[in-house]
Structure 1
Amino acid sequence: MRDDAFTRRRALLIGLGVTGGAWIAPALCGYDTARASGGSVSAVSRASAPSRPAPPRAARPELLVLGPALQEGALEAAGYVVLQSRAFAGGQLYRLLSPARLSTDQALSDLARRFPAATVSRNALYRSGAFLCEGGDCLAHQAISWPLSRRVTARRIGMIDTGINLGHEALKGANIRVFQADLGERSQAGRRHGTAVAALLVGQSLSRTPGLLPDAELVAVEAFHKSSTGEAADAFTLTEAVGHLIGAGVAVINLSFEGEENPVLHLALQEAAARGIALVAAAGNGGAGAPPAYPAAWPEVIAVTGVDAEGRAWRQANRGPYIRFAAPGVRLWTAASISGGRLQSGTSYAAPFVTAALALRLAENPDLSLEAHLRALESCTTDLGVPGRDDIFGAGLVSLEDQCGG
């Protein structure tokens, strides 16, 4: 463990005039989900509710089937509506609307009986793990450019997120390829979260929000849509996005979102992991007592929690044995959706630090296995909390690549 590294980094922040515990990048070192992570919200006026509101009409549940190609006519004859279908990993992925006469559980049982060789599930929703800093918690605000000590071309990085504003000053000139996932009948989500994550990864060095690896190639899939409860991505679209990034030949995929366990999405990520792709995800923003957040809690995925500039755990971060690393994720200066930057918090913004660290390691030492790279990162973390690995910080605060000895 590298306890002196954190002290040096803190001293550098103070020397740069950063007050109030704000992190300035770069410093390489989430249907059953929480609401979209939008941060502190000021009071809003609310219209008086009627004394006897009409009961809401139950929506027909969406389901997924992943397996051998099916006869769509047979599905429709049974009362299912095929909303979308995509080829994936030698099979076919279907997004279905269940028959009105069946509950979700009944429809899942019916599909499993009809297609025993397939994997069936609900079409779960996932949300970005981000909180915009507002109000008294985020008074410290100092926009600086932290020049990189060296310029390195890392392995190709993938990310799945909301839209990205390629016209943002931090991303002008960056090597980014964007793929818009087919959202079906849904409208595309906004660009705030995706722009911030992309800028953390590949923001240009001379911009106000420089990134960790400005020379890296980034392949981004815009997979989120607008929903009645905020921005979300469903398991169907996320599975399609994973397939696209597998085909693009990325070395690492950044997954800054959270949601429930879903067997179809899990199969997609297992396919990516089997091909040697590193999967890095936000640990989740449900708080200390929250259940595990996915995809971070799957064993193939590297879960990253967020800490502040004092090395304290973010109060809204998930905890559990699946946490592997901690990284800056509280009051972090990163790109705003249109121009400039703002302070934001969330495990979403911690994940790119580990994504970048692995991309850099994989480029410089391509013959080492992913697990060997992870062990090397663990060996040079700054231990936080109780000695050794724990459920709050994992192995500890991930350190700069050159501080780790390469």
Structure 2
Amino acid sequence: MKSVSSSLRLLPLLVAATLSAVAAQSAVAAQDAGYARGRILIEARPGLSDAALDRILKEHGGKRRKIGQSRMQIVDLPANASEVAVVAKLARRPELKFAELDRIVPATLAVTDPYAGSEWHLNKIGATSAWDSSLGRGVTIAVLDSGVNVNHPDLKDRIVAGYNIYSGNTDVTDVCGHGTAVAGSAAATSNNAAGVAGIAGAAAIMPLRIAYTDSTGCHAYFSTIASGLTYAADHGARIANISYSGVAGSSSILSAARYMKSKGGLVFVSAGNNNVDENVVPDPALVVVSATDSNDAKASFSSWGSFVTIAAPGTNIWTTNNSLGYSAWNGTSFSAPVTAGVAALMMAARPDLGGDTIQSLLYSTAIDLGAAGRDPVFGYGRVDAAAALRATVAYQPPVDTTAPLASIAAPLANSSVSGLVGVSVNASDNVGVARVDLVVNGTVVATDTAAPYSFSWDSTGVANGMASVVAVAYDAAGNAGQSAAVAVNVANSVTTVSKDTTPPAVAIGNPVAGTVSGNVSVSVNASDNAGAAGITTVIAIDGQTKAQGTGGTLGYNWNTRKVAAGQHTITATARDAAGNTSSTSVTVTTK
């Protein structure tokens, strides 16, 4: 397969013409099975060093590629490897949060009618009234799709720089027209006396091509979608839309959605067009949208299930097309961006509100349909833009003085540990947990930003004997709740060096060079020939010390909103017990 520049760390998916006939046949067979040949997706638990992860993957001949600034990795496998077998083995590794196949998913387009259409849905959801309060200006909507026709007269003024995740370049040309239609339904320019009006007609559109086209339509991979979400979050998008079926059950996509939520964003996905219960477990990281018709009934094609959170018009949605004109489309492909556009209006009206608050207001103002309360067909109800904007403008955030609760579920007190130790934390809050820090002997060794909170602690970084393990949970208001300390007995083999003149090795696991935004988890790992227990590690940003501690692992939560936009240098320095030092740096750009 065609490679992508490692500096971009994005996804190569085009099959090279030089593939052997056998490899080509294997790729076709894997596609027929519904997943990509030659790669899988994993996520390491916080605290696991890159070196330790590489040793785990080496057993399977795997080589990893980091997805943006997240902890997820694309793992390239040898040609003779079984993706199914490798995933089964890696999924049982306690050092990993998950391992999964890189499955293929289709666009959620039902049918098109080039002669139908009026924008009935605008009045149905109260968009025209909502426009009195907001048009979405200042909010960027990432459209993860088949590309966008950036020359369309109703879209060209809305476009900001995007990326072709599929091919690893900047060509976002729409290869099947689906993305252009989705983009228009969310944010086609309003008040320009031409064409149609999107829900958020002054919002920016970030085109991210995650799909390819073949004789059966537009398709994407779990890996391209997860990469696209991470790219959107790292580059400042507040909204992301994915109008593809079968994504809500993917561990990698859920992880990327949680990553985007940690930056204050929201991810909208379509429920599907199979007219069945999709039987997917609901997750708050995703806003899952089913489709309604002009009578507020379920669209005939719309899927449903407990994962559906809200409904929106999805029949005869008049929007932009790839021929620089307009046509009417059907599908949950369009109910999702209609809802995403409403969220953009809300965020633009109140940029001070976080994604969780916007999501809650979106649900609480929906018009209840079907069974009372949330139901599997309409979720909380059909989106109501006018009511959502009224509630958003009037919203007064409560003063949050309640600290989160945290407890360590594993390891057990007074247990003996060695090597890599799995640490599980239970954390809850009256509003929501923003992150959990793992603290060992007073040093923050790792940070996790999404439940379930779990770590892979390298116990070789502390001296043998009793060690104190504490979890500290933080909410968005800055309140902190600390668990009771768990004392464990560290029993690792000890290395003796008669005369130590070798400096420690130190690496910054996150972030990598590139763009960052919001809260950034800085993770540093160090090792030494005399053992990591005698190391002192320091994290500095632009020359100013931000965190320091003892042992081989150090973590720090960096709030980039408090620094000027532009380039910043993160430096990690490690000093061993003999006084030998070494350092490494990475330069990132804040939005």
Report the TM-score range of the alignment, normalised by the length of the smaller protein.
Answer: 0.7 to 0.9
Aligned counterpart for 1:257 among listed residues 220, 235, 244: 244
Q: Quick one: percent identity of the two aligned structures? A: 22
As a proportion of its length, which structure holds more strand? 2
> Using the alignment, how far apart are the partners of 2:79 and 2:59 within structure 1?
8
Question: What SS class does the counterpart of residue 366 from structure 2 fall into?
Answer: coil
As a proportion of its length, which structure holds more helix? 1
User: What residue ranges of structure 2 are gaps of 5+ in the alignment?
Assistant: 1-24, 31-36, 394-591
Instruction: Give how far 1:244 is off.
Output: 1.0
Specify the code of the residue in structure 1 equivalent to 2:105.
Answer: Y
> Using the alignment, how far apart are the partners of 1:168 and 1:214 within structure 2?
14
Specify the code of the residue in structure 1 equivalent to 2:253.
Answer: L
Question: What SS class does the counterpart of residue 124 from structure 1 fall into?
Answer: strand
- Max radius of gyration: which structure? 2
> Using the alignment, how far apart are the partners of 2:385 and 2:54 within structure 1?
56
Aligned pairs (5 A) from 1:52-131: 58-59=29-30, 60=37, 62-67=39-44, 69=50, 80=61, 85-89=65-69, 91=71, 93-97=73-77, 99-100=79-80, 102-111=81-90, 116-117=95-96, 119-131=98-110
Specify the code of the residue in structure 2 equivalent to 1:207.
Answer: A
Q: Mean alpha-carbon deviation: is it higher for 315-324 or for 372-381?
A: 372-381
* Alpha carbons of structure 1 residues 55 and 304: separation in structure 2 relative to 1, 3 Å: closer
Which residue in the other structure is 1:174 paired with? 158
* Alpha carbons of structure 1 residues 396 and 119: separation in structure 2 relative to 1, 3 Å: closer
Question: What SS class does the counterpart of residue 305 from structure 1 fall into?
Answer: strand
User: Which fold has the larger relative contact order, with Cα–Cα distance below 8 Å and residues 6 or more apart in sequence?
Assistant: 1
> Using the alignment, how far apart are the partners of 2:261 and 2:388 within structure 1?
28
Contact 1:165 1:191 in 2 (8 A): no
* Alpha carbons of structure 1 residues 286 and 365: separation in structure 2 relative to 1, 3 Å: same
Specify the code of the residue in structure 1 equivalent to 2:39.
Answer: E
Specify the code of the residue in structure 1 equivalent to 2:143.
Answer: M
Question: What SS class does the counterpart of residue 337 from structure 1 fall into?
Answer: coil
Structure 2 residue 383 is matched with structure 1 residue 398: yes
Question: What SS class does the counterpart of residue 161 from structure 2 fall into?
Answer: strand
Instruction: Give how far 1:173 is off.
Output: 2.1
Specify the code of the residue in structure 2 equivalent to 1:312.
Answer: A
Specify the code of the residue in structure 2 equivalent to 1:380.
Answer: T
Which residue in the other structure is 1:197 paired with? 182
Aligned pairs (5 A) from 1:378-397: 378-397=363-382
1:30-68 Cα distance to aligned partner (Å, 9 max, x none): xxxxxxxxxxxxxxxxxxxxxxxx999744563223335
Contact 1:321 1:390 in 2 (8 A): yes
Specify the code of the residue in structure 1 equivalent to 2:42.
Answer: V
* Alpha carbons of structure 1 residues 367 and 144: separation in structure 2 relative to 1, 3 Å: closer
Specify the code of the residue in structure 2 equivalent to 1:93.
Answer: Q
Structure 2 residue 345 is matched with structure 1 residue 360: yes
Specify the code of the residue in structure 2 equivalent to 1:211.
Answer: G
> Using the alignment, how far apart are the partners of 1:193 and 1:380 within structure 2?
29
Question: What SS class does the counterpart of residue 167 from structure 1 fall into?
Answer: coil
* Alpha carbons of structure 1 residues 363 and 55: separation in structure 2 relative to 1, 3 Å: closer
Structure 2 residue 278 is matched with structure 1 residue 278: no
Contact 2:72 2:252 in 1 (8 A): no
Aligned counterpart for 1:212 among listed residues 199, 202, 221: 199
* Alpha carbons of structure 1 residues 57 and 341: separation in structure 2 relative to 1, 3 Å: closer
Aligned pairs, how many?
344
Instruction: Give how far 1:129 is off.
Output: 0.9
> Using the alignment, how far apart are the partners of 2:351 and 2:26 within structure 1?
58
Which residue in the other structure is 2:256 paired with? 268
Instruction: Give how far 1:321 is off.
Output: 2.1
> Using the alignment, how far apart are the partners of 1:373 and 1:56 within structure 2?
42
User: What is the Cα-based RMSD across aligned positions, in Å?
Assistant: 3.6
Question: What SS class does the counterpart of residue 176 from structure 1 fall into?
Answer: coil
User: What residue ranges of structure 1 are gaps of 5+ in the alignment?
Assistant: 1-53
> Using the alignment, how far apart are the partners of 2:241 and 2:384 within structure 1?
18
Question: What SS class does the counterpart of residue 311 from structure 2 fall into?
Answer: strand
> Using the alignment, how far apart are the partners of 2:207 and 2:220 within structure 1?
14
Contact 1:330 1:344 in 2 (8 A): yes
Which residue in the other structure is 1:29 paired with? none
Question: What SS class does the counterpart of residue 258 from structure 1 fall into?
Answer: coil
* Alpha carbons of structure 1 residues 401 and 106: separation in structure 2 relative to 1, 3 Å: same
> Using the alignment, how far apart are the partners of 1:139 and 1:160 within structure 2?
27
> Using the alignment, how far apart are the partners of 1:378 and 1:56 within structure 2?
42
> Using the alignment, how far apart are the partners of 2:165 and 2:28 within structure 1?
29
Which residue in the other structure is 1:21 paired with? none
TM-score (norm 2): 0.51
* Alpha carbons of structure 1 residues 395 and 91: separation in structure 2 relative to 1, 3 Å: closer
Specify the code of the residue in structure 1 equivalent to 2:245.
Answer: E
Contact 2:149 2:173 in 1 (8 A): no
